[in-house]
Structure 1
Amino acid sequence: MNPGRSTGRPVELRHLRAFLAIADELNVTRAAARLRLTQPAVSRTLAALEMHLGVRLVDRSTHHLALTPEGVAFRDKAAAAVAAFDEALDSGRLRQWPLRLGHAWSAFGPYTTPLLRAWHERHPRTPLELLRIDDRTAGLTRGEVDAALLRGPVDAPGLVAEVLFTEVRVAAVTADGPLAGRTSLALADLADGPVVLNTVSGTTTIGLWPPHARPAATLTVGNTDDWLTAIAAGRGNGVSTASTADMHPHAGVVYVPLDDAPGVPVLLARRDAPGHPALPDLAALAREIIARGP
């Protein structure tokens, strides 16, 4: 397709609804069922929209559908347009548009439950959906969520983020291992054995240790569950943040304070584009919850 090419046929609301259903489901068959249309009809509608815009919105080259960068950018615009139309017909429908908040692990830490409860009390007609997505940006860059709670610096184009607070790091050690009985640890204490690293959504890398004192071996995993399982099995120890100890207790893992590891910023991130109208309310409530304390 050539950028900017248009068929001359107007884009209708059905085109936007079909695209948004596909963007939410990442599956044409499920999107068709949701819209109560046939799969070929939804595919034709998406193709017509892409032809009008002159860009690919959905990548069909893999076994699983994914939004292209253009599709991610267009999703917010399409959602805002559909919401504006629906509000014009029924002002109550906009308030029912769910706000999807992603996280890769530990959510909002000790503030998670207060945030969810306060949101439900103040915004009962706008559901807040907390979604765990094993991805460095918790699905934000792929358009799967409206905002995300992230940890550590995030170098992804098109995102804006606000630092909400900073968490201390802790060591996660095997419960029956030699380090489990210590009251505190240093990074050097972990360097003698393998270190388990979550390279998909975690914040700990080998660069946390100074070059002259790095661990002799590492084991890489792809999510928090596998990280905990590996540590509990005695395959190595790990480093995470204090919220992990609160949100992910494990019978085979003991969390011990780390004396010499820098803290990790907790961010509220969103795409740098028009988004869900309740995003400012979410940011304001998050700040208020933090000010109150966990």
Structure 2
Amino acid sequence: MTAELRHLRCFLAIADEGTITHAAARLHMSQPALSRTLRALEDHLGVRLVDRSTHHLELTPGGRVFRDRAAAAVAAVDAALDPAGLTSWPLRLGHTGPALGEHTSELLRRWDRRHPQTPLELLRIDDRTAGLTRGKADIALLRAPFTQPGYVTEQLLTEARFAVVAVDSPLAGRTTLTLADLADEPVAINTVFGTTSLDLWPPTRRPTAVVPVTNTDDWHAAIAAGRAVGVTPASTPRMNAHPAVVYRPLTDAPDIPVLLAWRERGGHPAIPELVTLAREILTQGSEGS
């Protein structure tokens, strides 16, 4: 069998929907036909992609890796066949917020002046790689180490971490906080793209409760209600402050790397210019501070 684009689209629908029934309805095809397509793809790859042992299908480890590859391949084909792309080729910069912080607007302004024929699209995509591994972004601003094979990274800067507590919390009266100060409180953790995990604390002094959230609004809400405390990059209070919480420097937590990541081969030809511009803006900002 030769794998075709339809095999990838069928697999991605199954991965997104979690059931053959819902995926078949989304694709307007019968369930038996979709199951046969999945089996054919697995036979071609020689790898089981989906664990069928439960009612709600789960991707195998190989399936999770292949999902990103399949999504990137489908996105590339769709982009190549988009008629709008024949007149201009936008450069898609993915991020999970707050992009390049206070430097974001300057990045966009200078890019528009220097590269008017190549639109720079700033896309907030809430996943760990800001859409990069799924082909939704050509280059991504990330706030976590990224070592996946086939990609290039360049660290632009590091950000300090801040503790975040409700305005009426006893901790709000402190000028600085430590990880130990937060360890007796539930911690709100963004499980989709957050920069905080329990590994930030020493094994012997970790918070015993976690409040999982999936977006910044719910994270702020949990902290503002006094249900949890949080840890965030220094750019958050500058770019996305919340009136019902306070931000205090976290003195003993490691800084967060801010980096650009892009594919090693076959990427957008304007990526080197964007990397150079980001470097230039941050260097000038540092010299002027």
- TM-score calculated relative to the size of structure 2: 0.73
1:80/1:131 CA distance change after superposition, 3 Å:
closer
**Residue 271 (structure 1) aligns with:** 263
CA-to-aligned-CA distance 1:52-105 (integer Å, 9 cap, x gap): xx89xxx9xx9xxx994444454687589779x999xx8xx3xx3111111112
Question: Match of 2:24?
Answer: none
Question: Does the CA contact (< 8 Å) of 1:76 and 1:275 recur in 2?
Answer: no
- RMSD between aligned alpha carbons? 3.6
SS at match of 1:293: helix
Distance 1:210 1:133, change over 3 A: same
Q: What letter matches 2:247 in structure 1?
A: Y
Which residue number corresponds to residue 210 of structure 1? Answer: 202
Partner of 2:244: 252
Structure 1 residue runs without a partner (length 5+):
7-14, 24-38, 41-46
Distance in 2 (CA, whole Å) between partners of 1:86 and 1:221 is: 37
Aligned length: 244
- Consecutive unaligned residues of structure 2, counting only runs of 5 or more, are 13-27, 30-36, 50-56, 58-63
Residue in 2 that maps onto 1:35: none
Secondary structure of 1:284's counterpart equals helix
The equivalent residue for 1:261 is 253
Contact conserved, 1:186 with 1:258, CA < 8 A, in 2?
A: yes
Quote how far apart the aligned CAs of 1:195 are.
0.8
Change over 3 Å in CA distance of 1:86–1:246 after alignment to 2? closer
Report the alpha carbon displacement of residue 2 of structure 1 after superposing the two structures with TM. Answer: 3.5
Equivalent residue letter for 2:102: P
Give, in angstroms, the shift of residue 246 of structure 1.
1.2
Match among 131, 138, 147 for residue 146 of structure 1: 138
Amino acid paired to 2:101:
G
Paired residue for 1:237?
229
Deviations 1:97-151 (A, max 9, x none): 1111111121111211111111111112221111111100011111111111000
Report whether the alignment pairs 1:225 with 2:217.
Answer: yes
Q: Out of 149, 152, 156, which is 1:160 matched to?
A: 152
Q: Secondary structure at the match of 2:173?
A: coil
